[in-house]
Structure 1
Amino acid sequence: MNKALSLSSAAAAGKLVAPLVGNFQGSFNMEQFFRRKDKVVFVMGATGTGKSRLAIDLATRFPAEIVNADKIQVYEGLDVVTNKVTDEERRGITHHLLGSIDPYSNFSSHDFTHHASDAIESILARDRLPIIAGGSNSYIEALVDDYSEFRFRYDFCFLWVDVSLPILHNFVSDRVDQMVDGGFVEEVREIFDPKGDYSYGIKRAIGVPELHDYLKAERDGADERTLLILLELAISKIKDNTCLLALRQWQKIRRLQNKRNWNLQRLDATGAFLTDNENSHPVWEKNVVEPSSMIVDKFLHNDTRRITTTVFSPEPVHHAAAVSR
């Protein structure tokens, strides 16, 4: 058999082969060059689109563990404010970098790259699939493009959970009201900083600086009417800033798709957000989970044929009642 053909076939199968050039000099590791790349799946999307939900859904279908890529959810504390998935919602799936970092430190993109790389290797060592899920695209971009070994060591698949922005904005606005009912203000009160320094750590979370004037007035003994007005203003700012965050995240994903050619597989979850809670699950399964599972299955089995995902339906006028993350 032709030696070049033999080498090509063995490399494609992920087998280790001896170098053809016997007198090769230098530190180049031929064994590493011909090793089969490990697989990593990314789940991306704007805040509130259901990234965590999809990652967990996938992890129940494939032997996987999840690495959080949200720059605020990495910190310990403020579980309601940061909208972390609960123990019940995790469904027994192991999560890494979720609520594990000192809340008063600054966890940079470089820090994330280091910790996420360690987590990926530990997951792979257990013969499981790493799923990186989160809305902090700067973290993901740093890991994929700035970490020099990442593209050399791994094959990766990008899933983009997308929701029509007007529908998403209505949803995240309603979600803020639910979070306020669930103890949002009480959590922020516990870390209130009268000096107003919200430049580091978990204090940068949306909702913490917005509540400053209200909590300061409360501490200073303001009357009930003044407090009510300040609280309403704070909640309105939280909603506006959450919607602005969603827009910026969406814009960044489009830039990554268009300029870096990341080949994002877009999944339109809008339909699930237009269905009442009782009926949203079947729509989510059909429109998001099933096509995602098919994409991941093909990716894991080296089927490189491109899959065409769904596109936006016309914009309806009503908004979502479904709860997502």
Structure 2
Amino acid sequence: MAAVVRCGLRPPLVVILGATGTGKSKLAIEIGQRFKGEIISADSMQVYKGLDIITNKVTMEEQALCSHHMISFVEPLVKSYTIIDFRNQALSLIEDILQRKNMPIIVGGTNYYIESLLWKVLLDIKQVDSDEESLQNDKASMKANLENLDGLELHRRLTEVDPDMASMLHPHDKRKVSRSLQVFLDTGVPHSKLIKEQKLQAGGGDLGGPLRFDNLCIFWLHCDLKVLDQRLDKRVDEMLSAGLIEELKDFHRLYNEKKIKENNQDYQHGIFQSIGFKEFHDYLTVSVDAPEDMKTRLFQKGVELLKLATKRYARKQNKWVQNRFLNRPGSAVPPVYGLDVSDVTRWEESVLDPAIEILTSVMKGETPTAQPLRVKSEVMRNKRSRHVCDLCDKVIIGDLEWKAHLKSKKHVYHSKKKTRLTLEKDCKNDSVHSLPSTTEIQTEEITLC
């Protein structure tokens, strides 16, 4: 297909969403070639150098077809690279690309990275000057100490300084709890108060702050779940054939082996939290003298865990799109155009051509003939309220999650068990109260004689 004629208008910011394995990078490159686009990766693991296969980075050949940004520029052992760092770099790139009249194309599956670009949902922490260097060092030290605390202790501390935010976060969600504590350390203001002020901005709402861009074109590549599962299993097999195990072993030897010996391993930070690396932990750390059948079992276990984790992550990505764009209507929610990628043999007909047509209309300032996905305005808003289930000994955050828990097999089982035990206790008490006393028995026996 020939390149589309430029229309003199400012190109839109294109965002390609979708679960892993749906072909986001393929569509991005094809659009980039036709519209003079530049691709910005919004993947939290692809920013790090190394593990190219397991993080599914585009190949050097693919990068040569279209300009790519935000890939493989952070050292693997760096733990201080944050979402704010990503947001600031990516927004600067977007502005530069637009000024050159090119089309920025955001591609990725890290939900909170994409949110940070589309909405004003992150706080801009004021940087301290040189006179406050000692205060900055103190804060850095306090932040480092937070990483050594468990989730329950972090949550207890957050409750002391920001009870409203603590009530909306699960104690096991260590990353978010720690983030809220860090915001308080940086600003001296409760995170919940800052978020409330952000929502009150013009264009803000229940979802957070206002949209950053008014010229957006968002595509969601969706796929039949059974087809996607098969595709993801095949992808893992292809990764193995491409040298995945050799890549993991080399990376483990260079960056992970020493950390394990020093009892300093943490699969919750940086590239070490990448899906696929921690799943093979047992296989990578098994003794070289271990029996071959044990090594084989650990390898097969790693493959199974990787396939399971990949499918679970794909579902999480789809759920985010549905919740963020389709189930929560509002003025700050842009339209999303769905593209069905279930049948790859019909790629041009069902994916590429519709995307080109929609983009052409948007660039001309016209309304596309294709209809965006319908927003489910009847869906109940999911309030981040806290619920405690004494039966299951669980803390549930969110009204929708609470309703789902009440219908879960575990809760129903415990509820029926409690009801049964209560009935048995009541019956036992009734039986005891209905028995005649010893005196009554003796009297009855005498009378009968």
TM band (smaller chain): 0.7 to 0.9
Aligned counterparts, 1:11-26, within 5 A: none
TM alignment of 1:89-168, pairs within 5 A: 89-106=62-79, 107-146=81-120, 151=211, 154-168=214-228
Q: Residue 154 of structure 1: CA displacement?
A: 4.4
Is 1:105–1:200's contact at 8 Å kept on the other side of the alignment? Answer: no
Tell me by how many angstroms 1:270 deviates. Answer: 0.5
Query: 1:213 and 1:122, CA in 2 relative to 1: closer, same or farther beyond 3 A?
Result: same
Q: In 2, distance between residues paired with 1:153 and 1:37?
A: 12
Which residue, out of 197, 202, 224, partners 2:271? 202
Matched, 1:239 2:307: yes
Deviation at 1:125, TM superposition (A): 2.7
* Structure 1 pair 44–81 and aligned structure 2 pair: CA distance change class (3 A): same
Q: Percent identity?
A: 34
Q: How far is 1:126 from its partner? A: 2.1
Residue 38 of structure 1: how far off its partner (Å): 5.8
Q: Is the 8 A contact 2:120 2:211 kept in 1?
A: no
Distance change >3 Å, CA 152–CA 83, structure 1 → 2 = closer
SS at match of 1:231: helix
Q: Which residues of 2 match residues 293-312 of structure 1 at below 5 A?
A: 293-305=356-368, 307-308=370-371
Number of corresponding residues: 267
Counterpart residue number, 1:72: 45
Structure 2: 5+ residue stretches without partners: 1-7, 123-208, 375-449
Q: How does 1:82-93 map to 2 (within 5 A)?
A: 82-93=55-66
CA root-mean-square deviation: 2.3
Give the aligned partner of residue 266 of structure 1. Answer: 338
Instruction: Provide structure 1 residue ranges, at least 5 long, that are not aligned to the other structure.
Output: 1-13, 15-35, 273-279, 312-325
Distance 1:43 1:245, change over 3 A: same
Give the TM-score normalised by structure 2: 0.56
SS state at 1:65 partner: strand
| Alpha-carbon distance in 1 for matches of 2:221, 2:77 | 31
1:150 Cα offset (Å): 7.9
**Tell me, what secondary structure is at the counterpart of 1:110?**
helix
Between Structure 1 and Structure 2, which shows a larger proportion of helix residues?
2
Q: Which residue identity does 2:358 align to in structure 1?
A: I
Deviation at 1:109, TM superposition (A): 2.2
Contact 1:40 1:156 in 2 (8 A): yes
| Cα offsets for 1:183-208 (capped at 9, x unmatched) | 11111112222424222111111111
Q: Secondary structure at the match of 2:91?
A: helix
Q: SS where residue 72 of structure 2 aligns?
A: coil
User: Is contact 2:335-2:372 (8 Å) kept?
Assistant: no
Answer 1 or 2: higher relative contact order, Cα 8 Å, separation at least 6: 1
For the residues of structure 1 that align with 2:216 and 2:53, how far apart are their CA atoms?
31
The structure number with the bigger radius of gyration is 2
Mark the CA change 1:230 to 1:307 in structure 2 (over 3 Å): closer, same or farther. Answer: same
How far does the alpha carbon of each residue in 1:155-196 deviate from its partner, in whole angstroms, 9 at most, with x for none? 111111111111111111111011011111111112222424
